[in-house]
Amino acid sequence: MTATLAGCGGSGGSGDVTLKLVAADYGTSDANKSDKYWDGVARSFEASHPGIKVEVTVYPWTDVDRKVAEMVKAGDAPDIAQIGAYADYAKAGKLYSADQMLSIPVQANFLPKLADAGRVDRIQYGLPFVASTRLLFYNKKLFGQAGLPAPQTWSDIAGDAAALKQRGVTYPFALPLGQEESQAETLMWMLSGGGSYTDDVGSYDIDSEENVKTFTWLKSNLVDKGLVGPVAPGKLNRAKAFEAFTKGQVGMLNGHPTLMEEAERKGIDVGMVPLPGETGPTEGSMGVADWIMGFKENGHRAEIGKFFDFMFSDKNVIEFADTYDMLPVTDSASASMEDNPDFKPLHQFLTTLPEAEFYPFGKTSWAQASESIKENIGKAVESGANPETVLAKIAREATAAEAAE
C-alpha cells in the first residue's frame, strides 16, 4: 500500500516546480501513519513557498529502500528520499551535499555526531532525520521482589540474571541475536566491552581482542548458564524479546524509547540505566539514525534546500520525534525537549545522544557487513562455539565487501 500526498494549490505557471518526496512509514497502526505528518509539512511549506509543490509517497519500511533503489535505477529518482541509508547513492555521485542545499544555520544545527555519521569521504550527504539511543531496561517489580538493585556491571547482570532465574523469570536477560536487528544488540555489547565495529581510523575491527572478550563473556556467563530464556539468542528476534518484556516475562534487556512507552502502557514498571560495562556503566551509548537526502537527477537543488530548511525547524523536528517516541537530530530541538517537562521520559535518552556511537553508515560496504552480522552473530554464543572464529568470519566478509567497492 502506498499513500500519495499531493499538495493543494492552483495549477500554477511554467515556473512551478513539483518536488517528489519518498518517505518511510513509522506508524504502527492506521491511526499514526506518517502520511499525516508529511501532509502537514508539505501543505505548510507550499503555503509559504508559492511556486513549489511537494508530492509525497509513503511506503512501509519493508519496501521503501527497495522502491527508491528501483526508481533510481530506472532514471526516475525522487528529489528527496527519507530512507535507511545514503552512502551508495553518495558514492555514485547521485546526491547533493549538505552544503549545496542547506542554509548555514540549518547545517550547523545538526548534532555533531550525527552530522559526522552522514559523511562520505568527509563530505556530508546524509541528513539525519530522526534518531534513538539505547539503555538497559529492567523490570522494577521483578527486581524488587528479588531484592536486587539496578545493574551497573557485567557481573551485576550475571548475578541478577541468576537470581531472577531462581525465581522463575522466563527470560532473566533477553539477548536477541536473531536476524531482525542483531547488528544493534551486537554493537551495544561491543561498546560495553570497550570495542566497536571500527577502529579509531574507521577501518573494520570486528574481531578485535575487546570484541572477542565480550562475546566470550556473554557465552560463558549468560548463555551457557541458561540465563537468557527458552529461545536461543540466535533464534530470538528483537520484536519477540520486546513483546515478552511488555508481558512481564523479561528481567533485563537493551531497549529504546518506543519500548519504554509500550511497556508502561501494559503496566510494566520500567527501570532504565546506562549499558553496564565490565567495570561500571558504559560511557557511550549506541545510537541509531535514519536519513533524508536530496537527489541531483531533476536539478531542483534550490527548491530541495528550501524544503529542508523549512522541514528542520524545531516545530517539525519535535512533532515527528514526539509522535513516534524518537529523538530529535538538531541541537536546538534537543535543547527544547530537555527544557520541557512533558518530555521527561525521554530525557535519559536525550542525555546519551550527543556522545552516542552509530553504525559506520558512511561505508557502502556496511549493508553487506550488517547482513553478515545478522546471519552469523547468534552462532558466536551457541553451545560449543568459538566466538573468535565467528567474529573472524564476519570480519573477513566485511573487509572483502569494502575491498570490492
Position 178 confidence tier, pLDDT thresholds 50, 70, 90: very high
Q: What is the pLDDT of residue 355?
A: 87
Of 181 and 147, more confident: 147
Position 2 confidence tier, pLDDT thresholds 50, 70, 90: very low
Q: Which CATH architecture has domain 3-132+288-355?
A: 3-Layer(aba) Sandwich (3.40)
Q: What is the pLDDT of residue 297?
A: 97
Query: Residues 46, 7: contact at Cβ < 8 Å?
Result: yes
Range 383-403 average pLDDT: 95
Position 29 confidence tier, pLDDT thresholds 50, 70, 90: confident
In the predicted structure, residue 283 carries a pLDDT above the cut 90: no
| The total number of residues written for the chain in this structure | 405
Range 108-134 average pLDDT: 96
Using DSSP, state whether 20 is helix, strand or coil.
Answer: strand
Q: What is the pLDDT of residue 367?
A: 87
In the predicted structure, residue 320 carries a pLDDT above the cut 80: yes
Query: Residues 173, 165: contact at Cβ < 8 Å?
Result: no
Q: What is the pLDDT of residue 404?
A: 84
In the predicted structure, residue 365 carries a pLDDT above the cut 80: yes
Mean pLDDT of the chain: 94
In the predicted structure, residue 103 carries a pLDDT above the cut 70: yes
Lowest model confidence (mean pLDDT) among 208-212, 244-248, 321-325: 321-325
In the predicted structure, residue 31 carries a pLDDT above the cut 90: no
Of 166 and 405, more confident: 166
In the predicted structure, residue 340 carries a pLDDT above the cut 80: yes
In the predicted structure, residue 7 carries a pLDDT above the cut 50: no
In the predicted structure, residue 289 carries a pLDDT above the cut 60: yes
CATH C-level class of 135-284+365-403? alpha beta
Comparing CA positions, the residue from 337, 376, 19, 18 lying closest to residue 182 is: 376
Residue ranges matching CATH 3.40.190.10 in the chain: 3-132+288-355, 135-284+365-403
Q: What is the pLDDT of residue 28?
A: 78
In the predicted structure, residue 9 carries a pLDDT above the cut 60: no
pLDDT in tens, 111-120: 999 999 999 9
Q: Which amino acid is at 285?
A: S
In the predicted structure, residue 308 carries a pLDDT above the cut 90: yes
Q: What is the per-residue DSSP string for 348-400?
A: HHHHHGGG-B---TT-TTHHHHHHHHHHHGGGGGSTT--HHHHHHHHHHHHHH
Range 168-186 average pLDDT: 96
Q: Compute how many other C-beta atoms are within 10 angstroms of the C-beta atom of residue 11.
A: 5
Q: What is the pLDDT of residue 205?
A: 97
**For the purposes of burial, counting CB atoms within 10 Å of the CB of 74, is it exposed (0-12), middle (13-18) or buried (19 or more)?**
exposed
